[in-house]
Amino acid sequence: MSLDLRAHFSIFRGAAPGRIHLAAHSHHYWPDVAVHAHGAAAVDAARLADRKWDPIFETLIPKLQRKIAHVLSLPDPATVAFAPNTHEFVCRLLSALPLGRPARVLTTDAEFHSFQRQIARLEEDGLVVVHRVVAEPAADFPARFAAEAARDVDLVFVSQVFFNSGASAGDLDALVTGVASPDALVVIDGYHGFMAVPTDLSHVAARAFYLAGGYKYAMSGEGACFMHCPPAFAPRPRDTGWYAAMGSLSDASHQQVAYAANGSRFLGATFDPSGLYRMTAVFDWMDRIGLTVDAIHAHAVRLQSLFLEAVQRAHIAPFLEATLITPLDADHTHGNFLAFESREAKAIHDRLAAANIVTDVRGSRLRVGFGCYHAADEIPEIVAVIRRALEG
């Protein structure tokens, strides 16, 4: 399926018309409706002042919870909590782990830097014992991870789509149900999956946490992150802000800090709500034009294929000599970007950047990502400019 939504991204595209932006996986362009919604947040703040939080909590947040629940096939929108970034949620989840011994953590060697850094720091002080499953090769990762999930653990943390390869962790139902420890917190990091690949959590919504945000494929920018919180797990995280008291049940008989049973138990404190305005506007826009996650993913995969074919025809040596980490074939499920392994990745990135072509580099891997603000007829000229930049 091919889309042409360029007119809906006129503000971002028009702000730097000479820029070729191939980093939808890193900082996705906002559609025009998101830009306008950002302004609407400021207008509401001025108009309502202290009273702005009433419509945010009574109307905006419930609406956005419903939108997210629909995309992820969640049975109860109230399980969705919001925060400015996913790291806040990670810290609250870590604060819910058992005390008195090092917590046992099962994860991979391909998690995003924020989680990697945090868990490594706790590991330094002996607060956690971490077992990391090697994420590659991707083809047999699900089986290898399932074998390790049979051990006793307190926390399982794994990406839906790995940030450094674009490879999928496999079927989420199988991954979640394969965790043997009944009380373990099972966490799916959906940052490269949400709004990029079709995701159905209906069968694991009662068992697994799922966190993601708007910075990338949800087209909403910074400050709009969320987590689905299964009701029976981590009922009282120790890291807690005053917003988590909203809707909580009183427990004066035990003189304990009270929490609600829904996702609000993972809320923090005062935040900038403008990201929620933007994300809601994006969902409303998608509904108006009939745009679905399935269509976005199919479009991105088609652009990836067209890009690889054009690179082959143009004989662009730096790309042809690199290793494509996740090939486009039936045996590899993947996200909406390509990852190329090359000793020259940084040099390639820098030469492209000098020509106003935006990609990004992670160590020896160059990432090239497409979004719904790209169109198929742009690919030949994009590749021609890349060729000139790398051969000039």
- Pair of tokens at residue 40: 């609407």
- Determine if the pTM surpasses 0.85: yes
Q: What is the pLDDT of residue 331?
A: 59
- Name the CA radius of gyration of the chain, rounded: 22
- pLDDT given at position 256: 86
For residue 151, what pLDDT is reported?
93
State how far the Cα of 321 lies from the Cα of 278, in Å rounded to an integer: 41
CA distances from 67 to 33, 54, 74, 199 (A): 16, 20, 10, 14
Structural domain 35-286, CATH architecture: 3-Layer(aba) Sandwich (3.40)
Q: Is the separation of the CB atoms in 69 and 210 below 8 Å?
A: no
- Whether the CB-CB separation of 80 and 65 falls below 8 Å is answered with yes
| Same fold across 6-30+292-391 and 35-286 | no
Where exactly are the structural domains of the chain? 6-30+292-391, 35-286
> How high is the pLDDT of residue 332?
62
User: How confident is the model at residue 252, as a pLDDT?
Assistant: 45
State how beta strands 360-362 and 155-159 pair: unpaired
What is the pLDDT, as a whole number, of residue 327? 83
Residue 176: what residue type?
Answer: V
Do you know the residue count of the chain? 392
3-state class of 123 per DSSP?
helix
**pLDDT mean for each 10 residues of the chain (392 residues):** 92 97 96 98 96 96 98 98 97 97 98 95 98 95 96 97 95 97 98 97 98 96 97 96 77 73 94 97 98 97 97 97 86 86 97 97 96 98 97 80
Report the top-level CATH class of 6-30+292-391. Answer: alpha beta
Closest residue by Cα to residue 110 from 85, 129, 82, 138: 138
